Amino acid sequence: MFNNIFQNKKVLVTGNTGFKGSWLTLWLLKLGANITGISKDIPTNPSLFKALKLQKKIEHHFIDVKEIKKLRKIIFSTQPDFIFHLAAQPIVSESYKNPIETISSNSIGTTNLLQIMCDIDWKCSALLVTSDKCYENIEKSAGYKETDKLGGKDIYSSSKAAAEIFISSYFRTFLNSKDNLTLAVGRAGNVIGGGDWARDRLVVDCMKAWGKNRPVSIRNPLSTRPWQHVLEPLSGYLHLANLIYQSRELNGEAFNFGPNQDDILNVESLIKKLSKKFELNKSYKIIESNDFPESGLLQLDIGKAKKLLRWQPVLNTSEMIESVSDWYFNFFKKNVDLMELTLKQIEIYEFKASKSKLPWSNL
């Protein structure tokens, strides 16, 4: 997998205690990496990071990426071969309540990392994670391309668009000329998977309600989102990091990672499919209230990743839904080994990718 590039490499993951960060850490451990994690806290309870006991398997630091001196100290003492930057305040509703914190963590936090990267004097490749929401959402039905206009009506989206602009400026001003360093950007859509407990996320709300045998309340049944299993963008990040470590060809490029266009579901059909395993009398109810405005339509064009990276989604919609509902179903059954379950899902994903002959899985 991935050219075996991560075997015995020093890999720094920011945001490692979060949902995506925990899956990424587990996958990197499986690939033989030595991991240093930086996060300001453990953002949820329950927590995948805790359930997998990841703190014992890596060198973990509770640090806020807004604190550039502390961040610099860890990066310089670790001298990582790879950096995966995921730390962010990722909840749109939270960005309404705490706009300054969201902007400081997401935009300034990323800029702090970029500033530190200017002084790195060892070979290092960085994969910076932003979001599908970095695009100015004009409610179009075609997917957004990497060349589309950045923007954001809400603070979360604009904080990610701002991070993108800083990444691009730092790259063109300082980082492109550094022979020892490469970077790339990953923009992913709405990610779902076992072990997410963040609030105001549809699948998590479902699981919290269904765990108590209650219907989930939904606001916008016809909204579409580019849902994808968490391992899909992670395979994209790992593959892209591998490629920019080997060659400078894609240095500074941004890539969308999302589902195929024909695999896009609306809220109502996703819920219906997800709930099957749980055998509930009523799995959802539609409510009127809308605490904060949300975009109705958001899709990504993944043509660039398909063409230049030969990356593509591995799971079809039913496989994605089976994986997600199976994880939570087992979680609620208690006495299930969550490490075994999560690792098994990674193994199945790797197996399906190699059956589909995806380059990253056969390298």
Ligand X SMILES: NC(=O)c1ccc[n+]([C@@H]2O[C@H](COP(=O)([O-])OP(=O)(O)OC[C@H]3O[C@@H](n4cnc5c(N)ncnc54)[C@H](O)[C@@H]3O)[C@@H](O)[C@H]2O)c1
Least distance between ligand X and beta carbon 18 (Å): 2
SS3 255: strand
Within 203-262, the residues that bind ligand X by CB under 6 A are none
Candidates 25, 105, 256, 275; binder of ligand X (CB under 6 A) is 105
CA distance 241 to 221: 36
Residue spans of alpha helices (H) in 135-287: 155-170, 202-211, 231-246, 267-275
Least distance between ligand X and beta carbon 249 (Å): 25
Candidates 25, 36, 39, 235; binder of ligand X (CB under 6 A) is 39
Instruction: Give the helix/strand (H/E) hosting 82.
Output: strand 82-85
Cβ closer to ligand X: 105 or 283?
105
Task: Answer whether 199's CB lies under 8 Å from 91's CB.
Answer: yes
Cβ closer to ligand X: 9 or 85?
85
CA distance 363 to 359: 6
Task: Answer whether 102's CB lies under 8 Å from 155's CB.
Answer: yes
Instruction: Give the helix/strand (H/E) hosting 217.
Output: strand 216-218
Judged by CB under 6 A, the stretch of 36-44, 246-254, 265-273, 314-322 that binds ligand X is: 36-44
Candidates 107, 131, 295, 325; binder of ligand X (CB under 6 A) is 131
Within 149-188, the residues that bind ligand X by CB under 6 A are 188
Cβ closer to ligand X: 265 or 281?
265
Select the residue whose beta carbon is closest to ligand X and give its number. Answer: 18
Which two tokens mark 224? 């579409």
Candidates 90, 226, 258, 313; binder of ligand X (CB under 6 A) is 90
Judged by CB under 6 A, the stretch of 35-43, 165-173, 267-275, 279-287 that binds ligand X is: 35-43
Cβ closer to ligand X: 108 or 244?
108
Least distance between ligand X and beta carbon 163 (Å): 9
CA distance 35 to 25: 7
Least distance between ligand X and beta carbon 279 (Å): 27
DSSP letters for 120-152: --S-EEEEEE--GGGB-----SSPBPTTSPB--
Is the backbone of residue 236 left (phi > 0), alpha (psi -120 to 50) or beta?
alpha
Cβ closer to ligand X: 21 or 152?
21
- Residue 34, beta-bridge partner list: 10
Within 54-73, the residues that bind ligand X by CB under 6 A are 64-66
Candidates 7, 8, 41, 153; binder of ligand X (CB under 6 A) is 41
Show Cβ contacts of residue 151 under 8 Å, excluding neighbours closer than 6 positions.
135, 136, 137, 157, 158, 161
Judged by CB under 6 A, the stretch of 11-19, 321-329, 334-342, 354-362 that binds ligand X is: 11-19
Q: Which residues bind ligand X (CB under 6 A)?
A: 15-21, 39-41, 43, 64-66, 86-90, 105, 109, 129, 131-132, 188, 190-191, 198
